[in-house]
Amino acid sequence: MGMKEQLQAIVKAHGASREGLGQGAKVLAEAVAQSLKVKSDEVAIMLLNTSGQTLVFVWPPPLFDGHAAFPAAHKTAIASSILATMKGKVDNKMAESKHLKFYELVKGMETSKLPIQKMVALPLFVGDRKLGVVEVSRKGKSPDEAGPNFTPEDAQALVALCKEASPFLGQLVPDPFL
């Protein structure tokens, strides 16, 4: 069963619910990880809360389970700038870029305590509605250890996956979503 069919089944089984949203985020994260050849905990999915003022992590699970969130207009968060411009970004020198570092400090993940060296990030939207942001990282002690640079082809693969998944994720967001 492909990603689209899995997401359709989750929407049908759970509708707009926290459980459904967690399952939907897992399906997208695993598809992204496989396509871009990263670990699933190197994928971060953040969705806007009901007020549109906060980005809430729905993947990886330690952040979703811990209700991790930050202001959607945060000055140094990559996700905030992606959401503001609605344009994707590829940064293969993330360790040199100013960004929020709390995601790198989360315990309980395979890549815990490793710095983000490279990232590709895209906005998620349904029609004109901003939904959130997907960030895909390569973590490691050094850029070489983290793996290959992200390419325009990686960004296009991510665009295709996000375009297919966004309508379903939008249906899974509970109301209210805090």
DSSP of 70-110, one letter per residue?
A: EETT-SS-HHHHHHHHT--EEETTGGGS----HHHH-SSST
- In terms of Cα–Cα distance, which of 5, 2, 10 is closest to 169? 10
9 located within any domain? yes
pLDDT for 108 equals 53
Q: Which domain holds residue 45?
A: 3-172
Number of domains in the chain: 1
What's residue 104's pLDDT? 53
Each of the 178 residues of the chain gets a pLDDT tens digit; together they read 899 999 999 999 999 999 999 999 999 999 999 999 999 989 999 999 999 999 999 999 988 998 989 999 988 888 999 999 999 999 999 877 665 555 555 555 555 568 889 999 999 999 989 999 999 999 988 999 999 999 999 999 999 999 999 999 999 999 998 7
Q: Does residue 177 lie in a domain region?
A: no
Kindly state whether residue 36 falls inside one of the protein's structural domains: yes
CATH code of 9's domain: 3.30.450.40
Does any domain span residue 73?
yes
Q: Is residue 178 part of a domain?
A: no
Query: Considering the domain boundaries, does residue 66 fall inside one?
Result: yes
Decide: 124 and 167 in contact? Cβ < 8 Å: no
Give a yes or no: residue 8 inside a domain: yes
Provide the token pair at 14: 């759970």
Nearest CA among 38, 43, 37, 30 for reference residue 3: 30
Q: Is residue 134 part of a domain?
A: yes
Q: 28 burial class (0-12, 13-18, 19+ CB within 10 angstroms)?
A: buried
Q: Which tokens is 73 given?
A: 């207009």
pTM of the predicted model, to two decimals? 0.91
Residue 112 DSSP class: T
* Joined tokens for residue 60: 């990886």
